[in-house]
Amino acid sequence: MNNGQTVFAQIMEFLPLKEFRRCVSKYRGTYKVKSFSCLDQFYSMAFAQLTYRDSLRDIEACLRSQKRLLYHMGFRSVLSRNTLANANEHRDWRIYADFAQLLINHARRLYRNDKFYVDLKETVYALDSTTIDLCLSLFPWARFRKTKAAVKMHTLLDLRGNIPTFINITDGKVHDVNILDVLIPEPGAIYLIDRGYIDFTRLYTLHQAGAFFVILAKTNLKFKRIYSRPVEKKTGLRCDQTISLVNFYALKNYPERLRRVKIFDAKNDRTLVFLTNIFSMPALSIAQVYKCRWQIELFFKWIKQNLRIKSFYGTSENAVKTQIWIAVTIYVLVAILKKQLNLNCSLYTFLQVLSVNMFERTPILQLLSDVDELNALDHKNNQLNLFD
């Protein structure tokens, strides 16, 4: 008989529980708690994410069916759906937000030396948001349209490792550009931004902080050409210009010169125009770097496909934010496992294998021993794969 740890316990061993308890203490997570601790709550929600549970009743039924194993998996209380619902409703979501940030910092250190798509030493971030639609009658606090509710997940993704370094969850009415007010610029880093974030006051704040940005220009941009550099049109480049804004308020908000790079994308038959404050990088490299911004779209699609952030176990704002932050924690935790165990399979395959083996006592490396066969299966499916 195999007396080893369950797969779930092996995964949870990678959690810094000392730091988790500090987060709980910081936000008084133990206040009036007698039996079902914050760690039990986290384990229950982590189990739901890893095994794709659809409801509180589903979580309760699965865990209660394996009562004899729960203690060895780390649980110290018997779960009931009412207890879990109450915990999600009332225990501060910031416990899990702070804990997720600790794991994010650890993951970034692990992936710091990974190869990037373009040969750059600078840290490159992609900034964007995704909207999660909700039912207005169940989530009235998240009013988005007249008959619709939604929350937005604003994310800053470190493209070296696809690790979300900053997440802000707001109601659907908050415009994307307002997140630039919350973001703390990192000097020397490059931010890849969509045209929806164009606000020259905020972009100038990034510039003054020593950060760089590459952003898609709007078609109605008014500017004055100061200087044009020669370009090789065979590469798709059409122009590489130093410009100055001419609109009174735009020039007042961004008095410095900008660089305008125009390129024709033959594959998609479209022309793209970029604005940037980077003058030392070749024009073609700027276009190639911006192409990497697509990774944040893959991140949003992947996390919606593979984790539970589109259907929720509770309807309050606290319950929704708790579930999203725990989902992010699991995403980062699995990325840490993949790196530390030096696994060759995709994150998608890793999660699929884990999901059907939570109660097994087989070592994780043994579960994934036939990596070549699993990788062959990855190439046959049409799922989104990150960390390849």
pLDDT in tens, 221-236: 999 999 999 999 888 9
CA distance 388 to 270: 29
Task: State the number of CA atoms in the 13 A half-sphere of 25 facing the CB.
Answer: 6
* Rounded average pLDDT over 88-117: 90
Q: If pLDDT is split at 50, 70 and 90, which confidence band does 2 have?
A: very low
pLDDT digit string (tens) for 58-78?
999 999 999 899 998 999 988
Query: Is the Cβ–Cβ distance between 11 and 337 less than 8 Å?
Result: yes
Which whole-number Å values give the CA distances from 228 to 159, 224, 241, 243, 260, in the listed order?
Answer: 31, 11, 4, 9, 9
Q: If pLDDT is split at 50, 70 and 90, which confidence band does 164 have?
A: very high
Query: Is the Cβ–Cβ distance between 17 and 63 less than 8 Å?
Result: no
| Per-residue confidence (pLDDT) for residue 267, from 0 to 100 | 85
pLDDT digit string (tens) for 283-336?
999 999 998 898 899 899 888 888 888 889 999 999 999 999 999 999 999 999
pTM over 0.95: no
Helices and strands in the chain, H and E counts:
16, 10
CA distance 314 to 323: 9
Q: If pLDDT is split at 50, 70 and 90, which confidence band does 383 have?
A: very low
114-298: CATH homologous superfamily?
Answer: Transposase Inhibitor Protein From Tn5; Chain A, domain 1 (3.90.350.10)
| Per-residue confidence (pLDDT) for residue 382, from 0 to 100 | 47
CA distance 313 to 332: 21
| Coil, helix or strand at residue 264 | strand
| Per-residue confidence (pLDDT) for residue 199, from 0 to 100 | 94
In the predicted model, is pLDDT for residue 83 greater than 70? yes
* Rounded average pLDDT over 4-13: 92
Query: For 218, which DSSP code?
Result: P
Domain ranges for the chain, please list them.
Answer: 7-96+317-380, 114-298
In the predicted model, is pLDDT for residue 346 greater than 70? yes
Which has the higher per-residue pLDDT, 377 or 245? 245
pLDDT digit string (tens) for 208-219?
999 999 999 998
